[in-house]
Amino acid sequence: MDLPDVNVWLALVDENHVHHQRALAYWYNESLSEVVFCRVTVLGFLRLSTHPRVLSRPLAPDEAWSIYRRYRDEARVGFLEDSPKVDSGFMTLSDRKSFAHHLWTDCYLAALALFRDCRIVSFDKDFDKFPRLKFLHLSK
């Protein structure tokens, strides 16, 4: 199953987004049979889609919830539950002197994906930094 990063969800919903066409190509041609949100990607989508400088037009909270629900109503879109067992992988991936402070969320998503055997999908190439991670890097 695919676990798209927040940047993929944002690009999908904003037709003026620089990566919108690439996100659509992923969605229709490259996505696996199951695509999932997790708590972090839901929160990130809600927070960033309503931010005045992220999308071409910020969404009202009810619009953001509506779009999220619309995706969740699709048969192939699910929700990936967290587990306390993810913490050990999260610590292992982040417990090194060279760990960069801006990678905390990516690191958590990588640990969750490794634990649940998902493929991360993102425009962010930083996911390359996590060994053994199945990763589809969407580029232009």
| pLDDT for the residue numbered 98 | 85
Residue type, 138: L
> How does residue 81 score in pLDDT terms, banded at 50, 70 and 90?
very high
**Any idea what the CATH number is for the domain that residue 133 is in?**
3.40.50.1010
Domain that residue 6 falls in: 2-137
23-73 pLDDT tens trace: 999 999 999 999 999 999 999 999 999 999 999 999 999 999 999 999 999
* Residue 56 to residues 48, 53, 93, Cα–Cα distance (Å): 12, 7, 35
Residue type, 126: D
- Using the predicted structure, report yes or no on whether residue 114 has a pLDDT greater than 90: yes
| pLDDT for the residue numbered 116 | 96
**Can you tell me the distance from the alpha carbon of 7 to that of 140, in angstroms, rounded to the nearest whole number?**
13
| pLDDT for the residue numbered 97 | 84
The count of domains in the chain is: 1
Beta sheet of 35-37, edge-to-edge order: 77-79, 35-37, 2-4, 119-122, 134-137
| pLDDT for the residue numbered 140 | 67
